[in-house]
């Protein structure tokens, strides 16, 4: 996201939106923490009366026992108040974080699936975790600002009634701290933005390495990857040091400003007591009250400086979270949502019923990847009920892009998709089970059991699960697994072979019994015999099966009712295998490069 886009993120407006989402929790927080901040005035006034009583300058005097009783009661009351305030604060912060994460994940899920996350998963996780925590903290600190203002107001009134000059020096550092923090705000934003981006690159690299361990080991790239990781870490170290040093300098300035003010106050107070004598206007109790308030005034002054810095950093956090919205206004982050999970998914309206699939038609479908000239252009195709349609072509010809644009995983630039002659308005929500099931080029499994990966929350009988396993030609593999369907497949299915991952994904499709099967090069990790068996079993139970398949493999091409040949993003030819081997030079080239079933012979079917 460019600098102008970042500058347009309204930090204050977004924080106000969060407050409006949970107004009662926030109001409770503000009241409770204001009381926590103001309560120290009570023991200060008690101490003043006690010391004035010792010198005979108080109208009411009391002894040490009474002082201890007062302080004990105050301590118990403050502990109880802080406990209630902390409990309310935890609930409030949890709701703030949940709202931000809910709106980000909601936006991601509403985007075309193939372009939903603009950066690496590690970078996205960093925004869900770190940036949300920064905003939580900043919003949370606003209630402390309310408490600081309330405490400062009460303290100024009490102290000014005793000595206005000394009171001025108590709170003069507050103004200086605010000016320093405000002047440093731009630098804080720049350093924090650089630090967060560097951290995101490091976490993204970690995620990529964990997801590609096998490729790294096979390629002997361990040293290269570690070297790259060191470079990223070194870059992060430099910007993080700058960020931390700036914060430390500001904190040092805040504290030293306060300490200088404290020294001046003590000198002035001592002079006032010395000049006034025994019957002076400035008493020992007054001195005790000023000294007592110094600690809390110091905390308040320091807090104001920290809050201004955190507010700036929250702006950076909002900017980075807004990048995940990919075009949606930043206010999307704070749109009020029901955070109750029960029935959340069932409440989503089902896609409109368009009847059992009779025909699928694509007209003028085009998509160009942002920042490039690659994609697909003006694609027309038809898939009839019960047909087996194969899309083929060389690498980069647009086969996968075609499937993704058709299914709504990419938002087409132009064109339309029709189901039974009627236009599909929202392909992403329309082409879902049980209407359609899709397996991508690289299937994704989750770190759960094999059975959980098949069902994904679906209710199916053991017989149905077994039938799906058999259709995917996984019975021998399942028999070799000691825990059977309860076998944990590991992150991304790392405990399974490539062929097992693909057949697990196929079984996940079969168990949903969709009207349209969409396979993107499903058989690339299967041997010819297994692939032949899989296709035979898919059609074996005499049900009407409609399939749209990306493949260059001979078993799929031999079985196809219709072959669509892609070349440089366009459809070059359409027909049966026997027709295209005569009329399409591109298909003949693809056929000749693919090993045949019979000892690699390049025989042409008749």
- List, for residues 315-341, the tens digit of each pLDDT value: 888 988 988 888 889 999 999 888 765
DSSP H helices, 59-131, are: 64-110, 121-126
The predicted model gives 526-551 an average pLDDT of 83
pTM: 0.65
414-419/422-423 β-pairing: antiparallel
**What's the pLDDT band for 368 if we cut at 50, 70, 90?**
very high
Query: Phi then psi for 40, rounded to 5 degrees?
Result: -60, -15
State the first-to-last Cα distance of the chain, in angstroms, to the nearest integer: 57
Mean pLDDT, rounded, for 548-554: 91
Distances, alpha carbon 599 to alpha carbons 589, 595, 596, in Å = 19, 8, 7
CB burial readout 40-58, b (16+ within 10 A) else e: bbebbebbbbbbbbeeebb
Which residues is 563 bridged to in the sheet? 390, 575
Q: Does the pLDDT at position 396 exceed 60?
A: yes
Q: Could you give the CA distance from residue 472 to residue 538 in angstroms, rounded to a whole number?
A: 8
Residue located via tokens 């998914």: 345
3-class secondary-structure state, position 269: helix
Q: Give the H or E element holding residue 141.
A: helix 132-160
Quick count: other Cβ atoms within 10 Å of Cβ 308? Answer: 20
pLDDT score, position 418: 94
Q: How far is 425 from 418, CA to CA, in rounded Å?
A: 9
On the question of pLDDT at 348 being above 70, the answer is: no
Model confidence at 392: pLDDT above 90: yes
Among 1-10, 126-135, 229-238, 490-499, where is mean pLDDT lowest?
1-10
Average pLDDT on 524-551 reads 82
Q: Measure the CA dihedral 593/597/600/606, to 10°.
A: -70
DSSP codes, 356-403: S-SEEEEEEEEEE-TTSS-EEEEEEEEEETT-EEEEEESTTSSHHHHH
Contact criterion met (CB below 8 Å) for 81 and 32: yes
The Cα 202–Cα 571 span in angstroms is: 41
Please, where are the H alpha helices in 277-363?
284-323
- Residue ranges, CATH 3.40.50.300, the chain: 359-598
pLDDT above 90 covers a percentage of the chain that reads 26
Q: Is the pLDDT of residue 350 over 60?
A: no
Mean pLDDT of the chain: 81
- Residue among 132, 512, 63 nearest 333 (CA): 132
- Higher pLDDT: 214 or 511? It is 511
- Report the pLDDT value the prediction gives residue 311, as an integer from 0 to 100: 85
What would the pLDDT profile of 466-493 be if each residue is shown by its tens digit? 989 998 899 888 888 888 898 888 877 7
d(CA 378, CA 301): 65
Nearest Cα residue to 389 out of 431, 360, 416, 409? 360
Residue 212 corresponds to which tokens in the numbers above? Answer: 């590609």
For residue 565, give the nearest of 387, 382, 391 by alpha carbon: 391
Give pLDDT, residue 548: 94
- Give residue 59's pLDDT: 67
Q: What is the pLDDT of residues 141-166, one digit of tens each?
A: 898 888 888 887 887 787 777 777 77
As a three-state string, the secondary structure of 465-520 is HHHHHHHCCCHHHHHCCCCHHHCECCHHHCCCCHHHHHHHHHHHHHCCCCCEEEEE
From the number of C-beta atoms within 10 Å of its C-beta (0-12, 13-18, 19+), residue 34 rates as buried
570: β partners: 567
pLDDT at 599: 41
Q: Which residue has the tokens 């004035």?
A: 52
The pLDDT assigned to 279 comes to 47
d(CA 389, CA 381): 10
Q: Is the pLDDT of residue 1 over 50?
A: no
Segment 72-81 mean pLDDT: 90
Kindly report the backbone phi and psi dihedral angles of residue 96, in degrees, each rounded to the nearest multiple of 5, phi listed first. Answer: -60, -50
Q: In what side-by-side order are the strands of the sheet with 570-575?
A: 436-439, 516-520, 546-550, 388-393, 562-567, 570-575
Highest mean pLDDT among 15-19, 59-63, 537-541: 15-19
Chain center to CA of 400: 27
State which of 273-277, 293-297, 416-420 shows the largest mean pLDDT.
416-420
- pLDDT, tens digit, for every residue of 11-47? 889 999 999 998 999 999 999 998 988 888 888 888 8
Distances (CA, A) of 283 to 50, 59, 274, 595: 12, 13, 10, 102
pLDDT of amino acid 536: 86
**Do 85 and 25 meet the contact criterion of CB atoms below 8 Å apart?**
no
Nearest residue to 477 (alpha-carbon basis) of 510, 511, 485, 460: 485
Q: What is the pLDDT of residue 191?
A: 77
Contact 417/423 with Cβ under 8 angstroms? yes
Q: Nearest-CA neighbor of 420 among 324, 516, 293, 489?
A: 516
Average pLDDT in the 3-13 region? 64
Is domain 359-598 annotated with CATH 3.40.50.300?
A: yes
**Confidence band for 206, pLDDT divided at 50, 70 and 90:** confident
The sign of the dihedral angle between the CA atoms of 158, 164, 169, 174 is positive
How far is residue 263 CA from its own chain's centroid? 48
Answer yes or no: CATH 1.20.1510.10 is held by domain 164-281. no
In the chain, ranges of CATH 1.20.1560.10 domains: 164-281
Calpha distance 533→537 (Å, rounded): 6
Whether 180 and 312 have beta carbons less than 8 Å apart is answered as no
Element (H, E) at 562: strand 562-567
pLDDT, one tens digit per residue, over 397-436 is 999 999 999 998 888 999 999 999 999 988 888 888 888 9
- Calpha distance 287→324 (Å, rounded): 56
Taking alpha carbons only, the member of 190, 196, 198 closest to residue 231 is 198
Distance CA 538, CA 507 (A): 10
Question: Is the pLDDT higher at 522 or at 255?
Answer: 522
Q: Please determine, for residue 367, whether its predicted confidence score (pLDDT) is greater than 90.
A: yes
- Phi/psi of residue 272, nearest 5 degrees: -65, -40
């Amino acid at each position: 996201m460019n600098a102008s886009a970042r500058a347009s993120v309204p930090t204050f407006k977004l924080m106000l939106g969060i407050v409006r989402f949970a107004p009662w929790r926030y109001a409770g927080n503000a009241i409770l923490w204001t009381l926590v901040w103001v309560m120290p005035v009570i023991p200060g006034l008690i101490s003043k009366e006690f010391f004035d009583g010792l010198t005979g300058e108080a109208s009411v005097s009391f002894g040490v026992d009474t002082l201890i009783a007062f302080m004990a009661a105050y301590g118990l009351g403050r502990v109880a108040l802080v406990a209630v305030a902390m409990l309310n604060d935890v609930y409030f912060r949890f709701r703030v974080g949940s709202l931000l994460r809910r709106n980000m994940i909601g936006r991601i899920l509403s985007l075309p699936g193939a372009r939903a996350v603009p950066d690496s998963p590690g970078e996205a996780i960093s925004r869900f975790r770190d940036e949300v925590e920064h905003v939580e903290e900043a919003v949370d600190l606003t209630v402390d600002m309310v408490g600081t203002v309330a405490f400062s107001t009460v303290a100024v009134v009490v102290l000014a009634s005793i000595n206005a000059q000394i009171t001025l020096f108590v709170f003069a550092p507050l103004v200086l701290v605010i000016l320093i923090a405000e002047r440093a705000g731009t630098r804080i934003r720049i350093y924090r933005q650089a630090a967060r981006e560097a951290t995101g690159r490091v976490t993204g690299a970690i995620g990529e390495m964990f997801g590609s361990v096998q490729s790294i080991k096979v390629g002997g790239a361990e040293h290269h990857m570690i070297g790259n990781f060191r470079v990223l870490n070194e870059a992060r170290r430099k910007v993080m040091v700058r960020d931390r040093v700036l914060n430390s300098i500001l904190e040092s300035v805040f504290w030293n400003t306060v300490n200088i003010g404290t020294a001046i106050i003590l000198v002035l107070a001592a002079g006032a007591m010395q000049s006034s004598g025994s019957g002076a206007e400035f008493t020992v109790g007054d001195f005790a009250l000023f000294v007592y308030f110094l600690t809390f005034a110091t905390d308040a002054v320091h807090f104001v400086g920290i809050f201004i810095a955190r507010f700036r950093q929250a702006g950076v956090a909002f900017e980075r979270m807004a990048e995940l919205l990919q075009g949606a206004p930043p206010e999307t982050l704070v749109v009020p949502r029901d955070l109750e999970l029960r029935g959340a998914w069932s409440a989503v309206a089902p896609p409109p019923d368009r009847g059992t699939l009779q025909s699928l038609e694509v007209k003028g479908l085009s998509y160009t990847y942002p920042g490039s000239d690659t994609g697909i252009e003006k694609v027309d195709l038809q898939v009839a009920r019960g047909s087996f349609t194969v899309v083929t072509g060389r690498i980069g010809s647009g086969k996968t892009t075609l499937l993704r644009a058709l299914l709504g995983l990419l938002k087409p630039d132009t064109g339309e998709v029709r189901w039974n002659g009627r236009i599909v308005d929202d392909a992403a929500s329309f082409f879902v089970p049980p209407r359609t099931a899709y397996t991508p080029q690289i299937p994704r499994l989750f770190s759960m059991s094999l059975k959980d990966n098949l069902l994904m929350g679906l209710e199916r009988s053991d017989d149905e699960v077994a039938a799906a396993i058999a259709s995917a030609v996984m019975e021998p593999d399942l028999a070799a697994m000691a825990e059977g369907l309860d076998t944990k497949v590991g992150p991304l299915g790392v405990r399974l072979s490539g062929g097992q991952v693909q057949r697990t994904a196929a079984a996940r499709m079969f168990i949903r019994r969709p009207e349209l099967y969409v396979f993107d090069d499903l058989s690339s990790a299967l041997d010819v015999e297994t692939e032949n068996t899989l296709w035979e079993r898919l059609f074996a139970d005499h049900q009407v099966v409609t399939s749209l398949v990306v493949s260059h493999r001979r078993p799929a091409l031999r079985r196809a009712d219709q072959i669509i040949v892609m070349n440089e993003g366009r459809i070059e030819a359409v027909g049966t295998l026997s027709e295209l081997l005569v009329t399409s030079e591109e298909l003949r080239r693809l056929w000749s490069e693919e090993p045949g079933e019979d000892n690699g012979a390049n025989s042409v079917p008749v």
